[in-house]
Structure 1
Amino acid sequence: MGSITKRVGSSYSEPKKGDLKIEDIKNVLIIRPNHRLGNQLLLTPIVQEVLNTFPNCTVDLFVKGGVAHPVFQNYKRVNKIIKLPRKPFNNLFKYAKSWFSVKNKKYDLVINGDKNSSSGRLLTQSAKAPFKLFGESTPEIENKYADYEHISKYPIYNLRYFLEKLGVSTSQNKLPLLDIKLTDAEIENGKIILDNLIKNNKKTICIYTNATGNKCYPEIWWETFYNRLKQEYPHYNIIEMLPIENISKINFKAPHFYSKDIREMGSVLRNTAIFIAADNGVMHLASASLVPTVGFFSVTNENKYKPYGNGSFALNTNNTNIDDWFKAIHKILA
């Protein structure tokens, strides 16, 4: 599909300087047809950038199944979430209906949130809009930003570059962080849940020992890490968030909790001092809950997926050791 669609958008006529006026952008479509929690959380920065840049606009999101509604429920100007079925061949009617809903509405701006998504490129091509970003990069942008590779950041850099070419002054602010916009009431509820679990006033470290496929570290790895964590931080609580499969790589030795509600999960995490996990969707949820987050990477590209902001950082365990990890963790907790 990548080979078939690589030239999609090549016939798009680039707008000219002066064609776009900020106040005229009222309907924006952002496309990211992926159902995974992490990928939908990684979409929150470009949504914020669009809402900040175009004050008169509302945003429609085109996603695949997944959890977009709870992720974006507190984004007041996210108008509509169009959901592509996760298994399109099992529901061709809904699949076709989702595509036609894009073709039947006129947008002012369409943004493909993932340059490597074939369906994203096709949807961007088929949408009715005078301004389109297919996600293409240029050496000029790539060389300008050391962190351009990050999947949450390059759509923002692309948008700013696109606007600059059209003569529109763009924000020089820092890039938006991942953010599910927890309310004060949600955060307070998370504190109640955490207090009932730990029953003391000490600060809390939270770990999550699960991940998908070969991103998941073995039990011996997590046992070694957990024992060192207890040794280094005896004055902290250490708790474990469990996955839906009820798996613990430390054999449930720490107080643990589980929730099916991602906003409730985020509200508990918001009340912790630090969250530590391998690269996975819950790592991005912690980051989007504005918690200092440490992500361990061994098979995926940390420059593309690492948590950022709030003191967060990534550690590649292929070229670092446990002493390096705890030096980095100590910088947050100190």
Structure 2
Amino acid sequence: MDFFNEINIIRRRITHRVTKNISNSSDNNFPSIDNREDIKKILICRPNHRLGNQLLMTPLVQEVINTFPNSKIDLFVKGNLSTIIYKNYPNIDKIIQLPKKPFKNLIQYLFTWLSIRKKRYDIVINVDKDSSSGRLSTKFANSAYRIFDDENEYFNLKYKDYKHLAKHPVYSLRIFLSTIGVANVKKVIPSLDLKLNSEEIAEGKKILNQLIVNKEQKTICLFTYATGNKCYSELWWMELLEKLKKEFENFNIIEVLPVENVSQIAFKAPTFYSNDIRQMGSLIANTAIFISADSGIMHLASSVQTPTVGLFSVTDLDKYQPYNKNSLGLNTNILSTNEIVKKIDAIIRK
């Protein structure tokens, strides 16, 4: 571990201690909003650079746009992924990017923080209740209304999906707005959405056709890699692959590769890799189903509306499972590969 990583660990510990008691409970006398048209400038805070976490924010952004269609939204994030993810989103005014390594870019880091203090916002929203930087930036920003994404026991009991990281901040927004006179939205929470345009989807179809032989058949897409103990063994994946081939003999099977160029099925299917997440998403959008362990690419598949099967053995399925129509998370600690194939078959038949 290098010096900067050690400093970063210390920084996270300090910010966690400082921010753990920051919440709306200390500032709960907000005036009512008589006209939602008065809300013009909104800041959404998610200072994290990981692909999955940035994509899990897209339902909240859509909810904000649906609720305040005339507003302009700034995103307070880390790294440049949000610039790519929100390329086709309306209402996004500015993406404020913290450097990934703050202590190597200290001046830029400090000026970025100061920028959210300098601008006046109508509402600032923290996306993740467990993010120290998110809570701190929500408190630090210059705003009339602040939403810290606090836990709500009533909603936790009322909604079985309240715990999900894509849905929890949307519920928190709805709870908060109801307390200041903005009518609750009764619609289904928006799905993750990369908002690919027709040209991007057509490009993905072209890439897929270069990988497969039978272009009339539907395609199953695999992503066999994951970080740490989320990664399944080659033996496990090979067993699943053979069963998929047997059960879906009239389907193509392809594999999307990680930057590490690792295949847990020993490259036994046509492969594709791109460092352009929109291009990778456009390919996945043209497949019938996507199968992956818990990973950022799993959420990418959800965000292009492809039915997605997430495989979970260590992380919390209720918080991280893929979220869109016909997608689901499976606990592989209690399901055999035969049972997993049956679940996949049920989705494909839909």
TM-score by length of 1: 0.97
Once the two structures are superposed, what CA deviation does each residue of 1:128-185 show, in whole Å capped at 9, x if it has no partner? 1111101112212212211100011011111111111222212211100000100011
Give the distance between the partners of 1:262 and 1:315, measured in 2 at CA: 25
Report 1:111-130 matches (<5 A): 111-130=125-144
Aligned residue number for residue 202 of structure 1: 217
CA contact (8 A) 2:294 2:311 kept: yes
Aligned residue in 2 for 1:41: 55
Q: Is the 8 A contact 1:269 1:291 kept in 2?
A: yes
2:137 and 2:207 mapped to 1: Cα distance?
Answer: 42
- CA gap of 1:20–1:30, structure 2 versus 1, over 3 A, is farther
Native 8 Å contact 1:36 1:66 kept in 2: no
Corresponding position of 2:110 = 96
Give 1:51 deviation, angstroms. 0.4
In structure 1, distance between residues paired with 2:319 and 2:243: 29
Q: Does 1:223 align with 2:238?
A: yes
- Kindly provide the amino acid, as one letter, of the partner of residue 64 in structure 1: K
* C-alpha contact 2:303 2:324 (8 A) present in aligned 1: no
Matched residue type, 1:267: S
Q: Which residue of 1 aligns with 2:185?
A: 171
Cα distance in 2 for partners of 1:20, 1:138 equals 25
Instruction: Look up the equivalent residue of 1:166 and give its one-letter code.
Output: I
> Structure 1: how far apart are the matches of 2:272 and 2:138?
41
- For residues 191 and 142 of structure 1, the distance between their equivalents in structure 2, rounded to whole angstroms, comes to 41
Counterparts of 1:281 and 1:100, CA distance in 2: 30
SS at match of 1:129: strand
Unaligned runs of 5+ residues in structure 1 are: none
Distance change (3 Å), C-alpha of 1:6 and 1:271: same
8 Å CA contact 2:239, 2:337 repeated in 1: no
CA–CA distance in structure 2, aligned partners of residues 88 and 316 of structure 1? 37
Q: Is 1:306 matched with 2:321?
A: yes
- What is the match of residue 265 of structure 1? 280
Please, what is the CA RMSD of the aligned residues?
1.1
Deviation at 1:277, TM superposition (A): 0.3
CA positional deviation for 1:3: 3.1
Of 156-165 and 2-11, more deviation after overlay is shown by: 2-11
How far is 1:19 from its partner? 3.5
Higher mean alpha-carbon deviation, 18-27 vs 173-182, is at: 18-27
Tell me how far apart the structure 2 counterparts of residues 106 and 197 of structure 1 sit (CA, whole Å).
Answer: 50
**Cross-structure match for 1:107:** 121
Q: How does 1:208-287 map to 2 (within 5 A)?
A: 208-287=223-302
The CA distance in 2 between the partners of 1:2 and 1:252, in whole Å, is 43
1:65 counterpart = 2:79: yes
Give the aligned length. Answer: 333
Matched, 1:332 2:344: no
In structure 2, relative to structure 1, the CA distance for the partners of 1:150 and 1:251 (3 Å cut) is same
Where does residue 132 of structure 1 map in the other structure?
A: 146
Partner of 2:7: none
Aligned residue in 2 for 1:182: 196
> For 2:296 and 2:117, how far apart are their aligned partners in 1?
31
Q: Which amino acid is the alignment partner of residue 183 of structure 1?
A: N
Distance, in Å, in 1 between the alignment partners of 2:80 and 2:200 is: 21
Matched residue, 2:10: none
Listed one character per residue, the Cα deviations across residues 100-128 of structure 1 (whole Å, up to 9, x for unaligned) are 01000000000000000111111111111
CA contact (8 A) 1:29 1:107 kept: yes
CA contact (8 A) 1:259 1:265 kept: yes
* Structure 2 Cα separation of the partners of residues 257 and 55 of structure 1: 38
In structure 2, the residue corresponding to 1:294 is in which secondary structure?
strand
- Answer yes or no: is 1:155 the counterpart of 2:169: yes
1:141–1:158 contact (8 Å) kept in structure 2 = no
One-letter identity of the residue aligned with 1:297: F
TM-score (normalised: structure 2): 0.93
Q: Is the 8 A contact 2:230 2:313 kept in 1?
A: yes
The residue identity in structure 2 corresponding to 1:222 is W
Segments of 5+ residues of structure 2 without an aligned counterpart are 1-14
**SS of alignment partner, residue 228 of structure 1:** helix
